[in-house]
Structure formats: C-alpha cells, structure tokens
Amino acid sequence: MLVSALVVALFLGVVQVALVLHVRAVLVDAAGEGARVAARADRTPADGVDRTRALVRDAVSARFAQDVSAGTATLDGLEVVEVTVRAPLPVVGLLGPSGTLTVTGHAVAEP
C-alpha cells in the first residue's frame, strides 16, 4: 500500500513536469513566430500579438494566451521586435506549483 502511494505520487510529479515543459515549449515557439511576423516590414507588433495568441490557443488553451505583449527593443545594437507571453503554470489535479511562465521571442526588424 505504501509503495503504491509512492509510485502514484512519483507518476503525478513526472506528469506535472512534462506538462510544464510542453506548455513552455509551445509558448517559446509561439512567441518566436509572433516576433518573426511582427518584424516584417509590412506588419506591426499588434500582428505579432495576434499570431502568437492564435498559435497558443490552437496548441494548448486560450487561458495561456491572455497576457501577450509586443514592442521594439535594441539588442546588441540591432532593432528587434520582442513578443512576451506570460501564462499560469499548468497544474495536474488540485495540488501543484503555482506561479507564471514568462517567455520572450525576438526577431530582427526589417527596415
């Protein structure tokens, strides 16, 4: 009985870590793609935000796409478009970590 409780707890911990890593990878990819869209000469940062939100909604859930922002910055002397996504940590069951994931994507802005 004690061994099975330990195995279940270990299994839930592994599932929790895998879920967090999956959501983080999706957010990083979506932020990068949104930055690439916004960096095009004929697009604006708002287009990058829209693209990022659409990718996150389609891949995981709309609740992870609520806090997306974009702007320009200078990185190593280059003007870049920066898309930032802040999302809650996904939780398996009632117990799990609380907090937020913050990821940023960059792309060099076209003149």
Overall pTM > 0.95:
no
- Strand segments, DSSP code E, in 27-77 are 67-75
Whether residue 79 contacts residue 15, with contact meaning beta carbons closer than 8 Å, is answered with: no
Q: Rounded CA gap, 17 and 3, in Å?
A: 21
Helices (H) and strands (E) in the chain, counts: 2, 3
76-106 tens-digit pLDDT = 899 999 999 999 998 876 666 788 999 999 9
| pLDDT score of 65 | 95
Whether residue 45 contacts residue 71, with contact meaning beta carbons closer than 8 Å, is answered with: yes
40-82 tens-digit pLDDT = 999 999 999 999 999 999 999 999 999 999 999 998 899 999 9
Q: What is the CA radius of gyration of the chain?
A: 17
